[in-house]
Structure formats: structure tokens, C-alpha cells
Amino acid sequence: MGIFNWFKKTSDEKLSKSTTNTIDVKKIKEDNFETNEIDPIYKQEITNGLYPGEIILLWWLKGKPRIEKISNPPLYFKLSYGINVNNSLSKLHALNLLRFSTAEESLPLLTVKELKEILRINNLTMSGKKAELIVKILDNVSSDLLEQQVPYHHMLLTDKGLDISNNYAYIVEAHRDSYFSVVDTIKIQNQFPNILNYNQLKLEYYKKLLPNEKNITLDNVHYLLQKKQIMNALERYKELGLKEYEVHCSLDESTCEVCGEFDGVPLPISKAVIGKNAPPFHNDCRCYITPAFDGLDSSRSIRNPVTGKSELVDYLTYKEYKQKYLNR
């Protein structure tokens, strides 16, 4: 046995022992949630004694190299979800939610460089795409030999882990969604326990948020939310005794002529009509409004169509931006 294989075997045995010992769940719970700033919903167990952050961790670990301790994990695990990643890693192993890949299962997770090294060791040609390299290895290298030559194994989900990951996929999807929070997703799912589909949960949430709107879909919901936001802003302006508002659009090549027509023009609040002279003018409209005050704006951010970068320039309207930067 070569020194590399001895080290690999010793490391695997050490890791196997460390993850099969009984863990102190109470101690893990004490180590988690060190700060009171964590939302209380993240401190509630979802299933099998797992917290929301640990379900996200389970998803995050899938396909990661087999290691005993995770260095520099994403900060959101601690700061947003309140979990200690390495303590929770031990917990996931103890609950039999994670397993280690076979050598064959690890091949697709290796880099092309690592695959070519296995081919080189076995005097096989190293040409071809990644999928072709994997087939070449599987066709020509025995399982026993491959077990010694794969540089490292990976963490995968057990059947039990897959069940949990699939049943609570809405938590992971919410984590990955920039516009919808895990907290809101869990809260709405608690109200509709039979709904596990993430998009359906979002739809139920928006229906509650927009009770006066009919025919809400995920395609039009951002338009409806923006509409509500603008209407609320106009009402606040009226309450403050303001008389005029201004529309502001994005100064770039993607702005349409409808939005650009109203950019920077003072308009009477009493005559504001959504879709006519107040945003949103259409789906995916990026316009917003502010009270109209003379002389407050001295500069404005634009997208330079030549460089493709944002720039801060002296104040100008969309029409002036179009004339200067687009009509060349």
C-alpha cells in the first residue's frame, strides 16, 4: 500500500468513526442560535429534529468532498440561520442523512484534470470531453483499482436524506430566491400544511398580501406588487400635502419609450393613473416615483452603452440621455 493510499484509508477510518459516535443534540442546540438576532422561526424544528438551516446545509453538502471539518463555510449559516456548520454536519451524519460516494459515483464530481490523472496512471489516452473521460475510466479500470486511485470521495444523501430534501425542497428554493424569504415560506406553509410545492406556496403568500387583486399569477405578481407600492406612495404624498410627483426610469438601453416619455416630468398627484402616467407601465417595469422638488438632483447614474459600465453624471432626463448616448 502506497503512502497516498495509507493516508486516504487512515483518514477515511478516522472520519467514519467520528461520524458514527453518538452526538450530544442538546449541546449542538446550545452552540446554535448564539445570538438573539436570529429569527425565532429558524429556532423551530422542522422534521427529525432538524432546523431550517440544517435542511439547507443538507442540500449544500451534497456533492462536497468528503472532509471531517468544513473550513470557512458560508456566513449565512451562522448569521442568518444561526447554526454551527460543523456541529450540524455531525448531527446529519448521526441521523444517517449523509453517506459517502463510491469511486464510480465520485467520477462526475471530479475535475477534468483529476480525471485525466487517473487516465494517465492507467496509461489510457486523455483526449475527449468530460463524459467521454468518465466512460473511458469505467470501461478500463476495475472497481478495486479505481477505489485506490480516486483522489477523494464525496458526500451524498442517503435515501432518508433524499426524502427529507425532497419533502422540504421549498425551504431550499426559498433560500435560493432573492425575492422571497425562507421565513415567509415556512410561515405560509404552516398555514397550508398540505402544500409542499414552492411556487404554490409563493402564490398563496401573494394572495394574502394582495387580497383585493384577482387572477394573481407568478407572472404578474411583481407588477401587482409594484402597483400597490406606487399607489401607497401616492396616497402618502397626498397626506403630506404634496402636489406633484416625478417618474424616474433606468437610464440604459433596455428602457422603453413609454417609460422614457415620463422620466423627470413633474405630474399632478391628483391626476395620477397607474399605467397611464404613473408606473408600472407594463410588466417588468423598473420605474419608480418621488415627490417633485426643483433643484434637488445634481447627478444621476447611467449605463454607458459603449463601456457597458455604470457612471455617475450630471443630472439629465431619459430623453437627454437617449440623445447624448444612444442616438449616435
What pLDDT digit, counting tens, does each position of 173-225 carry?
A: 999 998 899 999 999 999 999 999 999 999 999 999 999 998 999 999 999 99
Do residues 325 and 305 touch, judged by C-beta distance below 8 A?
Answer: yes
Q: How many CB atoms lie within 10 A of CB 9?
A: 12
Residues 61 and 160 in one domain: yes
Interval 108-117: pLDDT, tens: 999 999 999 9
Residues 194 and 307 in one domain: no
- With CA atoms as reference, report the closest residue to 252 among 207, 288, 300, 218: 300
Q: What pLDDT was estimated at residue 328?
A: 62
**Whether residue 20 has pLDDT greater than 50:** no
What the block records as the C-alpha cell of 204 is 398563496
**Whether residue 2 has pLDDT greater than 70:** no
For cell 449565512, name the residue.
Answer: 76
Residue 136: give the domain boundaries: 103-149
Q: How many CB atoms lie within 10 A of CB 231?
A: 13
- With CA atoms as reference, report the closest residue to 158 among 19, 46, 45, 14: 19
Residues 29 and 163 in one domain: yes
Question: Is 214 a member of any domain?
Answer: no
- CA distances to 60, 61, 186, 206 from 41, in Å: 20, 22, 8, 20
In what helix (H) or strand (E) does residue 211 lie, and over which residues does it extend?
none
Name the domain count of the chain: 4
- With CA atoms as reference, report the closest residue to 273 among 234, 243, 237: 234
Confidence at 240, pLDDT banded by 50, 70, 90: very high
Residues 200 and 248 in one domain: no
Percent of the chain predicted with pLDDT > 70: 88
Residues 90 and 226 in one domain: no
Residues 10 and 159 in one domain: yes
**Whether residue 12 has pLDDT greater than 70:** no
Q: What pLDDT was estimated at residue 320?
A: 93
**Whether residue 34 has pLDDT greater than 80:** no
Residues 67 and 110 in one domain: no
Residues 109 and 97 in one domain: no
